[in-house]
Chain A
Amino acid sequence: MLVLCVGKMALEITQYLLSAQSPEAKVRNDAETILGQFRDQNLPGFLLSLSVELSNEGKPTESRRLAGIVLKNSLDAKEATRKDQLVQQWVAIDISFKSQIKNSLLTTLGTFVAEASHTAAQVVAKIASIEIPRKEWPELVGLLLANMTQSDRPALLKQATLETLGYICEEISNEDLMQDEVNAVLTAVVQGMNITEQNPEVRLAATRALYNALNFARTNFENEMERNYIMKVVCDAALAKETEIRQAAFECLVSIASTYYEVLEPYMQRIFELTSNAVKGDEEAVALQAVEFWSSICDEELEIQDYEAPESGDSSALHSHFIQKALPTLVPLLLETLLKQDEDQDQNDGIWNLAMSGGTCLGLVANTVGDDIVPLAMPFIQTNISKTDWRSREAATYAFGSILEGPSIEKLSPMVNSGLDFLLNAMNDENSHVKDTTAWTLCRIFELLHSPATGFSVVTPANLQRILGVLLESMKDAPHVAEKVCGAIYFLAQGYEDAGPSTSLFTPYIPNILNSLIVTADRTDGSDSKLRSTSYETLNEVVRCSNLSETAQIIADLLPVIMSKLDQTLKLQVVSSDDREKQGDLQALLCGVLQVIIQKLSSEDKTKHVILHVADQLMLLFLRVFDCRSSTVHEESMLAIGALAYATGPEFGKYMPEFYKYLEMGLQNFAEYEVCAISVGVVGDICRALDDKILPYCDKIMELLLKDLSSGELHRSVKPAIFSAFGDIALAIGEQFEKYINYALPMMQSASEVCAQIDNSDEEMMDYGNQLRRSIFEAYSGLLQGFKNSKAQLMLPHAPHLLQFLELVAKDRPRDETVSKAAVAVLGDLADALGSNIKIMFKDCSNCTELLGECLQSDDEQLKETAAWTQGMIGRAFSVSG
Chain B
Amino acid sequence: MAPPDLRRPFKRASISDQQRRRDLSLQRQSQNRLHAQHQSRLAHTILSLTADQPVTESEPEFELEIEPEHEEQTPRDVQEAVKLRGPEARRWFAKQLMLPEWMIDVPERLNTDWYLLILTFHYISCFRYVFARPSGKRCFVVSSNGTTVSRLRNGSMLHRFPSALPNGARTKSSSRSGQSYCILDCIFHELDQTYYVIDLLSWAGMSLYECAAEFRFFWLNSKLVETGACNDPSTYHRYRFSTVLVYNCDHDGLKAAYTGSVPYVKDGLLFYNKYATRWFQALHAHYQPGNTPLVLVWKDENCSQYVVDTDGKGQVPDQQQVVLELLDDGRLATSDDPPVIFGCLNKDFIQQVR
Chain A positions near chain B (C-beta within 8 angstroms) = 284-285, 288, 292, 295, 349-353, 356-357, 359-360, 363, 398, 401-402, 437, 440, 483, 486-487, 490, 530, 533-534, 537-538, 540-541, 588, 592, 595-596, 599, 636, 639, 642-643, 646, 674, 677-678, 681, 684-685, 688, 721, 724, 727-728, 731, 778, 781-782, 785, 788-790, 825, 828-829, 832, 839, 842-843, 849, 852-853, 856, 861, 864-865, 868-869, 871-872, 874-876, 878-880
Min CB gap A641→B, angstroms = 11
Count of chain B residues with a beta carbon within 8 Å of a chain A beta carbon: 56
Distance of A534 Cα from B17 Cα, bound (Å): 9
Closest B residue to A596 by beta carbon equals B21
Q: Does B52 contact A (CB under 8 A)?
A: no
Distance of A842 Cα from B10 Cα, bound (Å): 55
Distance of A678 Cα from B41 Cα, bound (Å): 27
B25–A642 touching, CB < 8 Å = yes
Closest B residue to A845 by beta carbon equals B115
- Collect the chain A residues with CB atoms within 8 Å of residue B290's CB: 879
B25–A878 touching, CB < 8 Å = no
- Collect the chain A residues with CB atoms within 8 Å of residue B313's CB: none
Given known contacts A595-B21, A685-B29, is B36 in contact with A731 (CB within 8 Å)? yes
A871–B283 touching, CB < 8 Å = no
Render B17-30 as a binary contact track against A, CB cut-off 8 A, 1 for contact.
11001101110111
Min CB gap B26→A, angstroms = 6
Given known contacts A639-B22, A782-B37, A832-B41, is B118 in contact with A849 (CB within 8 Å)? yes
- Collect the chain B residues with CB atoms within 8 Å of residue A865's CB: 275, 277, 279-280
Distance of A133 Cα from B32 Cα, bound (Å): 48
Given known contacts A537-B16, A781-B37, A789-B57, is B3 in contact with A643 (CB within 8 Å)? no
For chain B residues 33-55, which have a beta carbon within 8 Å of chain A? 33, 36-37, 40-41, 44-45, 47
Distance of A672 Cα from B286 Cα, bound (Å): 51
- Collect the chain A residues with CB atoms within 8 Å of residue B353's CB: none
Contact of A879 among B13, B126, B280, B288 (CB under 8 A): B288
Q: Does B323 contact A (CB under 8 A)?
A: no
A681–B275 touching, CB < 8 Å = no
Contact of B284 among A486, A487, A872 (CB under 8 A): A872
A852–B277 touching, CB < 8 Å = no
B33–A778 touching, CB < 8 Å = yes
Closest B residue to A826 by beta carbon equals B37
Distance of A678 Cα from B40 Cα, bound (Å): 25
B41–A828 touching, CB < 8 Å = yes
- Collect the chain B residues with CB atoms within 8 Å of residue A295's CB: 7
Contact of A829 among B1, B41, B116 (CB under 8 A): B41
B126–A785 touching, CB < 8 Å = no
- Collect the chain B residues with CB atoms within 8 Å of residue A788's CB: 44
- Collect the chain A residues with CB atoms within 8 Å of residue B15's CB: 486-487, 490, 533-534, 537-538
Distance of A490 Cα from B33 Cα, bound (Å): 31
Min CB gap A306→B, angstroms = 17
Q: Does B219 contact A (CB under 8 A)?
A: no
- Collect the chain A residues with CB atoms within 8 Å of residue B45's CB: 832
Q: Does B64 contact A (CB under 8 A)?
A: no
Contact of A868 among B18, B30, B294 (CB under 8 A): B294
Min CB gap A494→B, angstroms = 11
Contact of A878 among B17, B115, B276 (CB under 8 A): B115
15 A-B residue pairings within 8 Å (CB atoms): A359-B10, A402-B10, A483-B14, A486-B15, A533-B14, A592-B17, A592-B18, A639-B25, A684-B32, A688-B36, A778-B37, A781-B37, A785-B40, A864-B275, A875-B119
Closest B residue to A685 by beta carbon equals B29
- Collect the chain B residues with CB atoms within 8 Å of residue A538's CB: 15
Knowing that A357-B3, A688-B33 touch, tell me 18 more A-B residue pairs with CB under 8 angstroms: A288-B1, A292-B4, A351-B1, A353-B1, A360-B10, A360-B11, A483-B14, A721-B26, A724-B33, A728-B33, A785-B37, A790-B57, A825-B37, A832-B45, A842-B115, A856-B122, A874-B115, A876-B287
For chain B residues 273-303, which have a beta carbon within 8 Å of chain A? 273, 275-277, 279-280, 283-284, 287-288, 290-292, 294
Min CB gap B239→A, angstroms = 34
Distance of A351 Cα from B12 Cα, bound (Å): 11
Q: Does B113 contact A (CB under 8 A)?
A: yes
A-B pairs with the 8 shortest C-beta distances? A352-B3, A875-B291, A872-B292, A360-B10, A879-B288, A785-B40, A537-B15, A879-B291
Distance of A379 Cα from B47 Cα, bound (Å): 74
Given known contacts A785-B40, A869-B41, A879-B288, is B283 in contact with A853 (CB within 8 Å)? no
Interface centre among A685, A825, A869 (most CB of B within 10 A): A869
Closest A residue to B8 by beta carbon equals A352
Min CB gap A825→B, angstroms = 7
Contact of B32 among A402, A440, A685, A861 (CB under 8 A): A685
A868–B275 touching, CB < 8 Å = yes
Min CB gap A687→B, angstroms = 8
Closest A residue to B210 by beta carbon equals A861
- Collect the chain B residues with CB atoms within 8 Å of residue A588's CB: 18
B41–A356 touching, CB < 8 Å = no
Given known contacts A352-B1, A685-B29, A790-B57, is B36 in contact with A636 (CB within 8 Å)? no
B24–A350 touching, CB < 8 Å = no
- Collect the chain A residues with CB atoms within 8 Å of residue B283's CB: 869, 872
- Collect the chain A residues with CB atoms within 8 Å of residue B1's CB: 284-285, 288, 351-353
Distance of A537 Cα from B15 Cα, bound (Å): 7
Given known contacts A642-B25, A681-B29, is B16 in contact with A356 (CB within 8 Å)? no
For chain B residues 82-107, which have a beta carbon within 8 Å of chain A? none
- Collect the chain A residues with CB atoms within 8 Å of residue B275's CB: 856, 861, 864-865, 868
Distance of A876 Cα from B275 Cα, bound (Å): 19
Main SS at interface, chain B? helix
A878–B21 touching, CB < 8 Å = no
Distance of A856 Cα from B294 Cα, bound (Å): 12
- Collect the chain B residues with CB atoms within 8 Å of residue A832's CB: 41, 44-45
A357–B287 touching, CB < 8 Å = no
Distance of A728 Cα from B284 Cα, bound (Å): 26
- Collect the chain A residues with CB atoms within 8 Å of residue B277's CB: 865
A357–B7 touching, CB < 8 Å = yes
Q: Does B191 contact A (CB under 8 A)?
A: no
Distance of A360 Cα from B126 Cα, bound (Å): 54
A352–B2 touching, CB < 8 Å = yes
Given known contacts A352-B3, A872-B287, is B41 in contact with A785 (CB within 8 Å)? yes
B33–A359 touching, CB < 8 Å = no
Distance of A789 Cα from B55 Cα, bound (Å): 13
- Collect the chain A residues with CB atoms within 8 Å of residue B4's CB: 292, 352
- Collect the chain A residues with CB atoms within 8 Å of residue B126's CB: 856
- Collect the chain A residues with CB atoms within 8 Å of residue B294's CB: 868
- Collect the chain B residues with CB atoms within 8 Å of residue A839's CB: 115
A681–B25 touching, CB < 8 Å = yes
A636–B287 touching, CB < 8 Å = no
Given known contacts A350-B2, A856-B126, is B37 in contact with A537 (CB within 8 Å)? no
Min CB gap A520→B, angstroms = 13
B37–A878 touching, CB < 8 Å = no
Contact of B28 among A402, A440, A540, A646 (CB under 8 A): A646
- Collect the chain A residues with CB atoms within 8 Å of residue B36's CB: 688, 728, 731
B122–A852 touching, CB < 8 Å = yes
- Collect the chain B residues with CB atoms within 8 Å of residue A349's CB: 12
Closest B residue to A441 by beta carbon equals B11
A876–B291 touching, CB < 8 Å = yes
Distance of A140 Cα from B14 Cα, bound (Å): 47
- Collect the chain B residues with CB atoms within 8 Å of residue A541's CB: 17
- Collect the chain B residues with CB atoms within 8 Å of residue A288's CB: 1
Contact of B40 among A363, A636, A731, A856 (CB under 8 A): A731
- Collect the chain B residues with CB atoms within 8 Å of residue A642's CB: 25, 29
- Collect the chain A residues with CB atoms within 8 Å of residue B24's CB: 599
Closest A residue to B36 by beta carbon equals A688
Min CB gap A426→B, angstroms = 16
Distance of A592 Cα from B287 Cα, bound (Å): 48
- Collect the chain B residues with CB atoms within 8 Å of residue A636's CB: 18, 21
- Collect the chain A residues with CB atoms within 8 Å of residue B29's CB: 642, 681, 684-685
A678–B25 touching, CB < 8 Å = yes
